[in-house]
Amino acid sequence: MPFRLSILIQGTAPRIIAGFLILAASGCGRSEKGQEKPKKPEPSAAAEATPESLSLSKRIAAFTGAPTKMVWARSAGSVADVYANYTKLQLWGIDTADGLGERPILSPTGNYSRPIITPDGNSILFTDKNTTRFDDVRKDFAPVVYRVDWDGTHMEKLGLGNAVDVWRDPDTKVDWVYVTDLLSTDRTSLFASKLERFQLFDPDHRELVWDKGQLSIDNIQLSRDGHLASGLFPWPQCGVMDLSAKTWRKNQEGCWPSLAPDDSGLSWVFDGAHKNLVMFGPGGQRRGLVSLGGAPRIGKHETYHPRWSNDVQFLAMTGPYDGATIGQATRDEIQTYIGKFNPGFDQIEAWIQVTNGQVGAYYPDLWIEGGENNSIDPSLAALEATTPPEGGTNSGPPSTQPPWLPNRDGILFAWENRRADNRATDARPCHVEAREMARFGRFFEMLCDGGYFEADPDSNAVVSAYLSATPPSFSIEALVTAFQKEQSGMVMSHPMFQLIQRGGHWVFATRVPTPTEVALGSVDAGQPMHFAAVWDGVEWQAWRDGRIMGIFASLSADSWQATRETLSFGGKWRGSIESAAIISRAFNEGEIVEQAGRARALVAARKPVPRIRILGKLKEMTADRPVEELDAYRNALLAYLYDVEEVIEGKYTEPQVSVLHWTIMNRVPLEGFPRRPGQVYELILEAVTDHPELESERSWNDLFENLPLYHDIATPQ
């Protein structure tokens, strides 16, 4: 029977049920500021130090340089519970000061989700999610937070919610427990509608911290001063929120973000392959990848649960995950690890494996005595990005590039690229969703050669409401590139306007106030075009690359092309789109010229990357993954190994090549995969290092050959 069924709390009266002691407020010593006086935990009487446990404790303490504690949820069932949703778990930990090694803290099976060590190291918090499962898919939750001493005694119920972090106010020394609610879901990823906090030793003192849209729960971690926190807004939008200003900044799409526990502002995002941390500076500048593959027994296997400790130099994680998915990994192989960053925070310089049992270990939290006093050198944290923020190793805009849309008035929809912090004037996030074979390019732009994109429902509703009410004025802007000179298709469309490629020419058409269109000149394949159209309430103007293109002409009603009933991008058209905006005011000439100049500078800064075209004979494939294993992801890439038969174009000298192929797009398996071993295929490839957009995509690579990894850039089919 799970422990939660054995605990009752009525009012403030202490009760002892099934061997667990629930403390009354009157039984706790407290400081003048309301904080409980530290209580030295006593080791479990059933646990005894052994030569092996003493050795492990000494090695961990030597590794971190101080007494160290770690806590985790451990599987007690026959299958893995990597997401800690159910009741076949135990609470385990290690305290190097007692020499007992890894041991159970609470051995009765229950739901011990996201255990967290308190700032003084004396207690452990965990959440019982009280998960109810329906039809093996949908899950409901009624989460409750508990606190327990290290010897498994003095357990008490603190309050409702899902605990994500515990933060000590540096001024008052009061500990605050940060909790979310948990929304019903049919996905692995869990979502919340708000973030609250309560005092550890006064749980009735509860405050609302965040209610500015949905959150995902792993990881939310606070800075030392409590002003910043890592988070997802929700998955896969990873970044940092300013809890004082109630705003957030997007770093990149991914999962498991984390924030340094000091005030440096250094943060990371876990990549879609679950093998690397993408590091970001305090202003959101991308600093490069930190591989987690150097940990013992990890290699090219996936890892999970990465979390910064209370010491900036150390993190905890779990692995290896050797199954088709995280949830299908071999349970007995999953262990906990401590990693130590190098002084530059651009790699993990050393690892130590903590657990070595034959059961799975999940959600480790690491505490190092005195670690809260360590900080990253401010000059290091403030360094410029070590790699360009977009486009790979030798491309991307210069750091002096002026901001897009410097005048933020009247923005109904604004989408610069997938990496950008895209927001409307009302701070509403603006997103686009890929359909069919559409995807994002190496500059994080929309690639429409295999499908189209739709604006998010909120943005579409706002734009449609404004345009359908006979707008007094509005403006449209986009930076578009056609991949073919002769083609016909939709570039940017809404029931009230369209940007079209018609054969070898650009055309803009609108129904405001009456059907009209204007020719925008001929198409130059591969050459970006900055487009702007302005309705000032009296007449239209259309601009191409900062030059006005003339007066609109009448458009017959029957010549209006069919369009979707949404704001969409692409449709039977091969090209790319970025910097797309709808504004509820008329651009002036100076703004348009400035925006066109910015677009030219953006494009001029982009350099081509090496490309190779080869004939390759398929030798080995990463095991195919079914759609249902994507969870919330929509696309998937798998790594294949080829023997190089012939280099048709470019330079490549290795006898073999590893290639990432799209195999699932928009949750639909591609017909051409899996491929046939021994078959020869023509491949057009670019280095994965030149495609940072892939970091946010779900990918699997079971290949262990030490070869550079390339990306198949052909249109998925």
Of 18-32, 471-485, 514-528, the poorest mean pLDDT is in: 18-32
Would you place residue 628 in the very low, low, confident or very high pLDDT band (cuts 50, 70, 90)? Answer: confident
Q: Output the pLDDT for position 101.
A: 93
Query: Quick one: pLDDT at residue 383?
Result: 61
Q: Would you state the pLDDT for residue 9?
A: 31
Judged by average pLDDT, the poorest of 74-88, 196-210, 258-272, 403-417 is 74-88
Q: Is residue 578's pLDDT more than 50?
A: yes
Secondary structure string (H, E, C) spanning 147-208: EEECCCCCCEEEEECEEEEEEECCCCCCEEEEEECCCCECCCCCEECCEEEEECCEEEEEEE
- Please report, to the nearest 10 degrees, the dihedral formed by the alpha carbons of residues 352, 357, 363, 366 taken in order: -40
Tell whether the model's pLDDT for residue 33 goes beyond 70: no
- Give the pLDDT confidence score for residue 326 in this predicted structure: 78
CA 411 to chain centre: 26
pLDDT given for residue 380 in this prediction? 77
Over residues 399-458, the pLDDT tens digits come to 456 789 999 999 999 999 998 889 999 888 899 999 999 999 999 999 999 999 999 999
Q: 258 with 221: CB under 8 angstroms? A: yes
- Quote the percentage of the chain above a pLDDT of 70: 89
Q: How far is CA 521 from the centre of its chain?
A: 41
How far apart (Å, rounded) are the C-alpha atoms in residues 345 and 365?
Answer: 20
C-alpha 188/C-alpha 698 separation (Å) is 14
The answer on pLDDT for 394 being more than 60 is no
Residue 7 has a pLDDT of 33
> pLDDT value at position 554?
72
Confidence (pLDDT) at 399:
43
Residue 62 is predicted with a pLDDT of: 97
Which is more confident, 667 or 358? 667
Report the first-to-last Cα separation within the chain, whole angstroms: 51
Q: What does residue 343 show for φ and ψ, rounded to 5 degrees?
A: -60, -25
237-246 contacts: CB < 8 A, separation 24 or more?
237/429, 238/269, 239/267, 239/284, 239/421, 240/265, 240/267, 240/284, 241/210, 243/209, 243/210, 246/210, 246/212
Is 215 within 8 Å of 179 (Cβ atoms)? no
pLDDT digits (tens, 9 = 90+) for 35-56: 443 333 344 445 688 989 999 9
Q: Which of 39-48, 103-112, 171-180, 321-330 has the lowest mean pLDDT?
A: 39-48
Q: Is the pLDDT of residue 517 over 70?
A: yes
8 Å CB contact between 106 and 123: no
User: Which residue's entry shows tokens 């470019």?
Assistant: 650
Q: What is the pLDDT of residue 382?
A: 67
User: pLDDT tens digits for 656-698?
Assistant: 999 999 999 999 999 999 999 999 999 999 999 999 999 999 9
DSSP character at residue 33: T
pLDDT at residue 401, as a whole number: 65
pLDDT at 230 over 80: yes
pLDDT for position 387? 44
Q: Pairing relation of β-strands 195-199 and 175-180?
A: antiparallel
8 Å CB contact between 227 and 167 = no
Buried b or exposed e, range 581-591, using 16+ CB within 10 angstroms: bbbbbbbeeeb
Q: How far is CA 126 from CA 92, 224, 354, in A?
A: 12, 21, 20
Domains of the chain, first to last? 3-22+50-381 (2.120.10.30), 411-604 (2.60.120.200), 611-712 (2.40.50)
DSSP 596: H
Structure tokens at 592: 């348009």
pLDDT value for 39? 39
> Is the link from the previous residue into 219 a cis peptide, with omega within 30 of 0?
yes
φ, ψ dihedrals at 300, nearest 5° = -100, 10
**What was the pLDDT predicted at 251?**
92
Q: Which residue has the higher pLDDT, 644 or 235?
A: 644
| Residue 680 DSSP label | E
* Look-up of token digits 């209610």: 211
**Per-residue pLDDT at 396:** 38
**Whether 147 contacts 194, CB under 8 Å:** no
Examine the pLDDT at 345 and tell me if it is beyond 80.
yes
pLDDT of residue 388: 42
The DSSP code for 30 is: B
Q: What was the pLDDT predicted at 633?
A: 87
Q: How far apart are CA 284 and CA 378, in angstroms?
A: 15
Mean pLDDT computed over 620-627: 91
Q: Which two tokens stand for residue 525?
A: 């394949």
Q: What is the mean pLDDT of the chain?
A: 88
- pLDDT computed for residue 32 by the predictor: 33
Burial of 358 (0-12, 13-18, 19+ CB in 10 A): exposed
Task: Please tell me the predicted confidence (pLDDT) of residue 69.
Answer: 98
Kind of pairing between the strands at 698-700 and 636-649: parallel
Q: How confident is the model at residue 79 (pLDDT cuts 50, 70, 90)?
A: confident
Spatial neighbors of 82 by CB under 8 A, at least 6 apart, are 304, 321, 326, 327, 329, 334, 360, 362
